[in-house]
Amino acid sequence: MQIDILTLFPEMFSALDSSILGRAQKQNKVQIRAINLRDYTEDKHLKCDDYPFGGGAGMVMMAQPIGSAIEALDPDHKARRIYLSPKGQTFRQQKVFELLEYDHLILLCGHYEGVDQRAIDLFIDEEISIGDYVLTGGELPAMVVCDCVCRYVEGVISTSSLVQESFSDNLLEYPQYTRPVEYRGLTVPEVLRSGNHAEIDKWRRQQSERITRENRPDLLAVQEKEDGQR
Ligand code: 4G1
């Protein structure tokens, strides 16, 4: 999986050099590149943004550096070209599996008031939003998409961790405990120390259902909808 991220702030993506994604990159299982849009500007002062036509606050990212970068990185349009944007469909786990069908993703990060609409019309396949709140840029959303996709790439994390998830899809996780057995008067539930794996599985399933019902009843509704589609 190759992921090219187009941004005015490539330094932000050093966060992906740590932990699991850092290891996956070193092992060459994923190639994540943060590409500076400034490297593609044809403006002699390296300008990549300008004032909005029609007036209003802030700046708009110019179409030219975006178009030139995308054409250079993906001349045959084999990549899925995604703009992280509040106007996109909300990112869900199902989308992760769709994106895994591509070998190459290009993620465009907006800044300021966003990008010239012509860059979207000409060069973008799809807009994705990570949720409904105001951000300073699309960089954190791009990192979210990277993280979600890369963990499913062969060899990035153990398959047993992934299998565990798919069993309980659309359910939240059961509570976890580690040593010691007692901490500040709270003890680990007896069943988890019983060694009875049928009882442990049953307890965990019940806890997952209870937590999902209490905290995220909307997830159960999503599950019923997806079941209906199968
Ligand atoms: C109007 C949120 C504007 C934000 C309404 C989720 C948010 C990219 C995302 C904004 C962004 C709402 C995202 C807003 C995002 C241009 C630069 C757009 C940053 C920008 C609800 C600012 N998922 N936001 N505008 O946040 O890029 O992907």
Query: How far apart are the C-alpha atoms of 104 and 113, rounded to whole Å?
Result: 27
Q: Could you tell me the sign of the dihedral formed by the alpha carbons of 136, 138, 143, 149, in that order?
A: positive
- Check pocket membership of 64 for ligand 1, CB cut-off 6 A: no
Ligand 1 closest atom vs CA 115: 16
Query: How far apart are the C-alpha atoms of 151 and 96, rounded to whole Å?
Result: 10
17 contact partners, CB below 8 Å, separation of at least 6: 25
Per-residue tens of pLDDT for the chain, all 230 residues: 999 999 999 999 999 999 999 999 999 999 999 999 999 999 999 999 999 999 999 999 999 999 999 999 999 999 999 999 999 999 999 999 999 999 999 999 999 999 999 999 999 999 999 999 999 999 999 999 999 999 999 999 998 888 777 766 789 999 999 999 999 999 999 999 999 999 999 999 999 999 999 999 999 987 676 666 65
Ligand 1: centre distance to CA 70 (Å): 21
Residue showing tokens 């040593």: 179
Ligand 1: centre distance to CA 139 (Å): 10
- Check pocket membership of 130 for ligand 1, CB cut-off 6 A: yes
Kindly report the protein residue whose alpha carbon is nearest to atom 27 of ligand 1: 138
Its pTM stands at: 0.95
pLDDT for the residue numbered 165:
78
Q: Which long-range contacts (CB under 8 A, 24 or more apart) does 128-131 make?
A: 128/82, 128/83, 128/84, 128/85, 128/88, 128/89, 128/91, 128/95, 129/84, 129/85, 129/86, 129/87, 129/88, 129/89, 129/90, 129/91, 130/84, 130/90, 130/91, 131/90, 131/91
